[in-house]
Amino acid sequence: MTCNTSCRAETLMFVIFMLACSFIASCAANLNQDLEITWGDGRAKMLNNGNLLTLSLDKTSGSGFQSRNEYMFGKIDMQLKLVPGNSAGTVTAYYLSSQGPTHDEIDFEFLGNLTGDPYILHTNVFAQGKGSKEQQFYLWFDPTKDFHTYSVLWNPLSIIFFVDGTPIRQFKNSESIGVPFPKNQPMKIYSSLWNADDWATRGGLVKTDWSKAPFTASYANFKAQACIWSSGGSSCTSNSNDTWLTQGLDSTSQESIKSVQKNYMIYNYCTDTKRFPQGLPRECSVNI
């Protein structure tokens, strides 16, 4: 078959597009390559040729997905658009976790609220099965109107949480003072949308309004700069020159994180003396 002028032009444009995508990070990979739907009986959907993933919740069930790969350290980015309107009682969870009773975990959880009231961004870190390291924030934008990027940087030095590239929390490796740190167990990425109206909104006082169901959260532009774990080993070597493996907070980022925490943090376990009457956890002396 011969290719006419229009055909050749279309072919040339496709080649140019593919070359551009090899240099421009905004050309998102197909989510099917990295993520797989794991539960929900059809409530989770891959749309737009794999460029969009949605999770839904109704009175019968929520839904969820996980990454196809396990990771041992990485810089993980995901764009989310949260459940709009009256989302009270719902939780959209996006986290890294290993398996087993002594699992490690790094959490973003978005606690729904009544229409007009802000979402609460709940963060936590588990190491060797123990968590209770919660910090909570209000966001400085409406997370239901558009996609925003939520990122975790996890390396041997620290775990840093970002929102749209702005650091909001750092959990440093404090093994030198006896605090466990997630560094020995590979983790997959998980996300789920589920009903938690026994605690999610005002401690469970506000229940899910099922007349507003189905509730839907959307995901796009997943990116993992990470060490893939396979067959008991890591894809990264001792000679890896990935900058994120040694990245911390420079002075500008430290000021940024302090500003966010001053203006938007609503709970910090490291200041909750009623919860820890015998003394605050040891890592509170070194973490921002």
Q: What is the tally of structural domains in the chain?
A: 1
What would the mean pLDDT of 160-171 be, rounded to a whole number? 98
Q: Which residues contact residue 151 at a Cβ distance below 8 angstroms, ignoring those fewer than 6 apart?
A: 75, 76, 77, 78, 161, 162, 163, 165
> Which residue, among 77, 96, 73, has the nearest Cα to 246 in the 3D structure?
73
The pLDDT tens digits of the residues spanning 255-288 come to 999 999 999 999 999 999 999 999 999 999 987 6
Query: Is there a domain that residue 14 lies in?
Result: no
Q: Which helix (H) or strand (E) holds 224?
A: strand 215-230
Considering 105, 134, 175, 255, which one is annotated as catalytic? Answer: 105
The pLDDT tens digits of the residues spanning 51-88 come to 999 999 999 999 999 999 999 999 999 999 999 999 99
Q: Which helix (H) or strand (E) holds 218?
A: strand 215-230
Query: Is there a domain that residue 94 lies in?
Result: yes
Question: How far apart, in whole angstroms, are the C-alpha atoms of residue 129 and residue 283?
Answer: 16
Query: Is there a domain that residue 18 lies in?
Result: no
What domain range includes position 127? 29-231+242-285
> And the tokens for 219?
């995901």
The torsion defined by the Cα of 137, 98, 25 and 236, in degrees rounded to 10, comes to 130
Query: Is there a domain that residue 10 lies in?
Result: no
What would the mean pLDDT of 154-168 be, rounded to a whole number? 97
How much is the pTM? 0.88
Query: Is there a domain that residue 9 lies in?
Result: no
Mark whether 109 is an active-site residue.
yes
Query: Is there a domain that residue 86 lies in?
Result: yes
Question: How far apart, in whole angstroms, are the C-alpha atoms of residue 100 and residue 182?
Answer: 14
Query: Is there a domain that residue 13 lies in?
Result: no
Residue 187 sits in a domain of what CATH number? Answer: 2.60.120.200
Considering 10, 109, 134, 175, which one is annotated as catalytic? Answer: 109
Query: Is there a domain that residue 218 lies in?
Result: yes
Mark whether 175 is an active-site residue.
no
Q: Coil, helix or strand for 245?
A: helix
